[in-house]
Amino acid sequence: MVRYLLALLPGCLAATAHAGGHFDVDDAGTLDPGQCQVEAWAGRFGVDRVSDYHLGPACGIGPVEVRLNIDRYAVPGEFAYVVGPQVKWTFVGRDEEARFAMAASAGPNFDVTRGGRTGGQVLLPVSWRALDSLWLHANLGLDWAPGTGERTGRGGAQAEWAMNDRFTLIVERFRSVGVWTSRGGLRISLAPTTSVDLSGARNGPERVRGYAIGINHEFKGF
């Protein structure tokens, strides 16, 4: 049943991809050396109403960002934990004033509920600051499903518009595990280093509704 549960999760394979909260399309930025961040979110999605509870601490170490992703996926009567490290490197446009950036990220993930079945992801995020208040992001990559090892492509695009200092509107369209999803949401800055994300999504040909809420906090690590 756990293997069946993992097969239901178009979001499961994205567990190593989230530098921007629970939104699926990643940006090309990374944390500065010594800076750390914690992301946490909860959501529900898909025809089978899968619940996802996520915790993702990360720190900038030298030229790369290192993250640990911990996810608990559940349907009524069954659950699975997926854990995996991620390394991300911004190799173009790391400077804060850069208007264009490219990065590469990769990492395995493990179904620790039943013996550590292994999956993984590689991803190429690209970001362009089209206007002072508007970022455009695009992703291209591959996923490997925990357990089955099935390989699928992923890709998508996102627009991130800062309406003012407090509110940012985010819309995205992406394909993961053969399924298209549209998502729109709002990022609310509570403080310079703390924000809350709220979003709703439509998934698959049935256009099943999903939703998520998350919090992101950045701090000086070491």
70-100 pLDDT, tens per residue? 999 888 888 888 899 999 999 999 988 899 9
Question: pLDDT tens for residues 202-217?
Answer: 987 888 899 999 999 9
119: confidence class by pLDDT, cuts 50, 70, 90: confident
In this prediction, residue 87 carries a pLDDT of 97
Query: What percent of the chain has pLDDT above 90?
Result: 64
Question: pLDDT tens for residues 100-110?
Answer: 999 999 999 88
Question: pLDDT tens for residues 14-51?
Answer: 444 444 678 999 999 999 999 999 999 999 876 667 88
DSSP H helices in the chain = 2-7
In this prediction, residue 176 carries a pLDDT of 87
* Mean pLDDT across the chain: 87
Which residue type does 190 have? L
Distance CA 216, CA 212 (A): 13
In this prediction, residue 20 carries a pLDDT of 67
With tokens 């709703």, the residue in question is 200
| Domain 2-220 = CATH 2.40.160.40 | yes
Q: Answer yes or no: is pLDDT of 8 > 80.
A: no
In this prediction, residue 14 carries a pLDDT of 42
β-partners of residue 179 are 176
Half-sphere exposure of 125 (CA within 13 A, CB side): 28
Which residue type does 94 have? R
Q: Which residue has the higher pLDDT, 120 or 102?
A: 102
Count of beta carbons in the 10 Å neighbourhood of residue 63: 11
In this prediction, residue 5 carries a pLDDT of 53
Half-sphere exposure of 95 (CA within 13 A, CB side): 4
